[in-house]
Amino acid sequence: MQLEEILTPARCHCRIEGISKKRILNKISEIVSDDIDGLEAPEVFDALMAREQLGSTGLGNGIAIPHCRLAPCDSIIGALITLDQAIDFDSLDNKPVDILFVLLVPEEENDEHVKTLAGLAALFNDEDFCYTIRHTHDNEDLYNIAITY
């Protein structure tokens, strides 16, 4: 999996205000819909919230990978966000989250969805990578670090 295939600079944001899981997912939905024609923020938000109701996507160690399937998607879409303050995300380890990688996939992309999630989980298991992006303060730098790591 190459992150440059699913990320754009417009979908990488450093140190945004999170406040709560619901508000950050709403903000991310707006970020994605602003960058992708044909995706509406309310539709993205509703799909992400529906997935969260099935179980938290908070992996632990301050990382969450909210993901969902969307009919209007014609390719896998990613967004990388760091928060100014960690928020409760109902993570497995009960630790607050300060890094989110949002993944939106077409409804029919079963195998790629699983492969991409596995690749992201492995990437975010790398302490050096997480340290680096946690200490990045520029959106463009965040994007460049993500695609070259």
pLDDT at res. 41: 97
**Chain centroid, CA 101 distance in Å:** 2
Single-letter residue type at 137: H
Report whether 37 contacts 72 (CB < 8 A). Answer: no
pLDDT at res. 114: 82
Output the domain CATH number for residue 57: 3.40.930.10
Range(s) of the domain holding residue 59: 3-148
From the list 67, 113, 135, 137, the catalytic residue is 67
Q: Taking the C-alpha atoms of 35, 49, 71 and 3 in order, what is their torsion angle to the nearest 10 degrees?
A: 50
Residue 67 annotated in active site: yes
Residue pLDDT, tens place only, 10-60: 999 999 998 899 999 999 999 999 999 999 999 999 999 999 999 999 999
Instruction: Please calculate the CA angle 85-83-72 and round it to the nearest 5 degrees.
Output: 145
The band of 111, judged by pLDDT with boundaries at 50, 70 and 90, is: confident
Quickly tell me which residue has 């995706």 as its tokens: 39
Backbone angles phi, psi at 9, to 5 degrees: -55, -35
The band of 107, judged by pLDDT with boundaries at 50, 70 and 90, is: confident
Quickly tell me which residue has 């303060």 as its tokens: 137
Could you give the number of structural domains in the chain? 1
